[in-house]
Structure 1
């Protein structure tokens, strides 16, 4: 999904902490890193990872890498079409433009979430997290955190197709957790720690549905001057989003890591479920279709 080249971006909307030391980096091997991703990919509080014994802390590099431009250089939709960090910024602004009036229609006032782009590690109200946990939302400071390197991992390690909407889906999913925090459904992630019908799975699938809900309306979101943020969807865009949703399914990740699927350990839902709930939001564009908490059959919305 391409951004309108003339859309205006506000770099102050996203905090960029890639230029400084942000705590410690967890020194773990590839297998442990994969376990971290399985445990936390796309939405789990990083505080849940404490005490897992996954290695000793090691110093994190400090200072902005020479090849890492600042978010302050993101000014237009054309920049978003070229750079992942600008794409996060533009997607967040499109999400703001959709969710604020949409929730107002239900009598809800949305306080915008914080958004931070970091490199290696970041300190949050939920604890210090390394890049290996993937993107996440911390309810303690109502902020979504992203390391743009994850998008490379999503493509190279998890099999997403690398299209722009695959990345935008990730941002919309994390923003969806803030919507859940606002309307009171995020708390259900604590009810039933794991399993195919656990509260955690239901909350994650609802965030996928919310991402699809935004996608259904995204091409009509406008910047402050009335320019549309995004061009209309193509079939290739939709395939990109679905490839990302499938790539981070619990069954897909478990099979890649161990050769087996263990539904009792699921925290986010299967590849098919994640695709199905994204499509539910996209097809109907109605938040009432996203009630995963009451769904009797999570395989068939």
Structure 2
């Protein structure tokens, strides 16, 4: 149990898009899955692979209609259903950032948050069933196929508990906050390496996720009950296991048996856990990864 059973969910923060179908040519479905997992969740720029002229070709069918997730009423629902868990996390994140954004000096707006099944169209391209979660700045929206959580546990090695799932959402929500701050526009994310702009942006999003977790047990739902029960250390460890599982070194070790820090785009497992814990313990105002020396990352 993570959510307070008696907390009240208002609904409407999360939408579920209808299924679309995607046929892939030029490498096959396996290549498409690998490309999207790397490009969207680990941050490698594969535009050269997926661009025109011999790259990956995608043919979409069906629509992208979205309906609000309306069946979620209480924290008990969020404990029982992954869709409702996403709704509960979104409501808690929105409540947290509505207040915390003032400390950061930004004008906060709520991101769109869409769950999908199969594939869906976005302003950042077509997301496939195995894309993994990502934030699309032009849409100011988070996209997630909840089947990714099975991969997070089976493929990436995370313990996969509820807080690990919600860490993923909180990280993407952190990217939305960065978009509002102008971080995406002001930071050169084209390079790679252990102290690159892309790593700094990702570690800050991890720190923002930790800051939300640190405050989440006190954030109140619509009926005045807190969204969550106090988190246990085991639940925090679940979130840390997710942060570790998607570290650049962990992914590279699993995929090739070789770690190349010069190609890092998100940071090492140790860095991702450390910055999550920094946010958890000290809050969002301490999440400055952008101006500090690379040796301090």
Return the TM-score normalized by structure 1.
0.88
Measured against aligned partners, the alpha-carbon deviations of 1:86-110 in whole angstroms (never above 9, x if no partner) come to: 1111001000111101112444321
2:2 corresponds to: 2
Q: CA RMSD in A?
A: 2.7
Measured against aligned partners, the alpha-carbon deviations of 1:33-57 in whole angstroms (never above 9, x if no partner) come to: 2343123216779978732866443
Contact 2:37 2:132 (C-alpha < 8 Å) held by counterparts:
yes
2:55 is the alignment partner of 1:57: no
Aligned-partner SS, 2:274: helix
1:260 corresponds to: 258
2:16 corresponds to: 16
2:291 is the alignment partner of 1:290: no
Query: Displacement, 1:127?
Result: 2.0
Measured against aligned partners, the alpha-carbon deviations of 1:180-222 in whole angstroms (never above 9, x if no partner) come to: 0111212355344211111111100000000001111000111
2:243 corresponds to: 245
2:146 corresponds to: 148
Q: Distance in 2 between matches of 1:43 and 1:142?
A: 17
User: Within 5 Å, which residues of 2 pair with 1:155-166?
Assistant: 155-166=153-164
1:40 corresponds to: 40
Aligned-partner SS, 1:24: strand
Aligned-partner SS, 2:70: helix
2:117 is the alignment partner of 1:119: yes
Structure 1 residues not aligned, in runs of 5+: none
Contact 1:60 1:120 (C-alpha < 8 Å) held by counterparts:
no
Q: Distance in 2 between matches of 1:56 and 1:106?
A: 41
Aligned-partner SS, 1:132: coil
- Does 147-156 or 79-88 show the bigger shift? 79-88
Measured against aligned partners, the alpha-carbon deviations of 1:71-126 in whole angstroms (never above 9, x if no partner) come to: 32222111111111111110010001111011124443211111111112111122
Q: Distance in 1 between matches of 2:49 and 2:162?
A: 30
Q: Distance in 2 between matches of 1:10 and 1:121?
A: 27
Q: 1:12 to 1:49 in 2, by over 3 A?
A: farther
Alignment length (residue pairs): 293
User: Within 5 Å, which residues of 2 pair with 1:160-199?
Assistant: 160-199=158-197
Contact 2:6 2:74 (C-alpha < 8 Å) held by counterparts:
yes
Q: Distance in 2 between matches of 1:109 and 1:48?
A: 35
- Does 230-239 or 182-191 show the bigger shift? 182-191
Q: Which residue, out of 126, 129, 135, partners 1:128?
A: 126
Q: 1:2 to 1:47 in 2, by over 3 A?
A: farther
- Does 7-16 or 153-162 show the bigger shift? 7-16
